[in-house]
């Protein structure tokens, strides 16, 4: 079973688990019909069950296919995923810094780093691209649509 699928299914189970627990505090029935807890409780349970079935199926299928591949996967996984994982991490840090006022400044850092490190552009080209991209975005959102993006 792929690690990425395991993470996805674990995340779904955790999310559904929280909603399932919290939906117990909501009315299941109300006024001759169903209450606000009816749909979330039932669908959370179904989601958890489906995650279990899919996870088991996937685990058994991958075991049957090539057990050695599955054992070796975590090491190669991180090596091949530097670009997406690095970009995700950068975006999380940048979004944290956006809380302090400017959206475009942290974004400029992200796009420049992504261009230079992951897309292998030179620093000058990456900086130029960032300036052009953000200038166009500023013109569209801020000047044309009056959305306060700074």
Partner 1 sequence: MLDALSSLGGGFAEVFTLYNVLLIFAAGLIGTVVGALPGLGPSAGIALMLPLTFGMTHISGLCLLTGVYMGTMYGGRITSILINTPGDAPAIITAMDGYPMMQQGKGGLALGISAVSSFIGGLFGLAVLVFFAPVVANYAIHLGAPEYFLLMAVGLSTIILLAGDNILKALIMACFGILIGTIGADYVSGQMRFIYTIELIEGIDFVAIIIGLYGLGEVFYNLEKSMVMKLGKPSLNLREYIPSRAALKESAAPTVRGSVLGTIIGIVPGAGATVATFLDYALEKRLSKTPEKFGKGAIAGLAGPEATNNASVPGSLIPLITLGIPGSGGTAIMLGALIMFGLQPGPLLMVNSGDIVWAMIAGLILANLFLLLSNVLMIPVFVNLLRAVQSNLASVVIALCVVGAFSLSYSTFNIWIALIFGVVGYLMRKNDYPTGPFILAVVLGPLAENYFRRAVMMGQGDAGIFLDRPISLSLITLMGLILVGTVLAKRVMNARRRRIESGTD
Minimum CB separation of residue 71 from partner 1 in Å reads 19
Residue 55: which residues within 8 A CB-CB, separation 6 or more?
Answer: 1, 5, 6, 9
| Residue 34 phi, psi (nearest 5) | -100, 145
Shortest approach of partner 1 to residue 59 CB, angstroms? 13
Residues 6+ apart with CB under 8 A from 85: 78
Shortest distance (Å) from residue 68 CB to partner 1: 20
Binding site for partner 1 (CB under 8 A): 2, 4-5, 7-8, 11-12, 15-16, 19, 22-23, 26-27, 30-36, 38-40, 43-44, 46-47, 50-51, 53-54, 57, 80-81, 83-84, 87-88, 91-92, 94-95, 98-99, 103-104, 107, 110-111, 114-115, 118-119, 121, 126, 129-130, 133-134, 137, 140-141, 144-149
- In angstroms, rounded to a whole number, what is the distance separating the alpha carbons of residues 69 and 72? 5
Please give the Cα distance from 46 to 66 (Å, whole number). Answer: 30
Which residue lies nearer to partner 1 by CB, 81 or 123? 81
């Amino acid at each position: 079973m792929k690690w990425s699928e395991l993470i996805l299914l674990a995340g779904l189970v955790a999310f559904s688990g929280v909603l399932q627990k919290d939906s117990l505090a909501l009315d299941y029935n109300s006024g001759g019909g169903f209450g606000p807890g009816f749909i979330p409780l039932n669908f959370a349970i179904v989601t958890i069950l489906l995650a279990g079935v899919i996870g088991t199926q996937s685990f058994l299928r991958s075991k049957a296919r090539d057990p050695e591949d599955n054992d070796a996967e975590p090491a190669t996984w991180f090596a091949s995923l530097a670009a997406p994982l690095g970009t995700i991490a950068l975006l999380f840090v940048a979004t944290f810094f956006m809380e302090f006022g400017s959206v475009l400044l942290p974004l400029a850092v992200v796009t420049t780093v992504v261009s230079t490190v992951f897309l292998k552009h030179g620093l000058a080209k990456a900086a130029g691209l960032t300036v052009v991209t953000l200038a166009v975005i500023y013109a569209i959102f801020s000047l044309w649509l009056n959305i306060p993006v700074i």
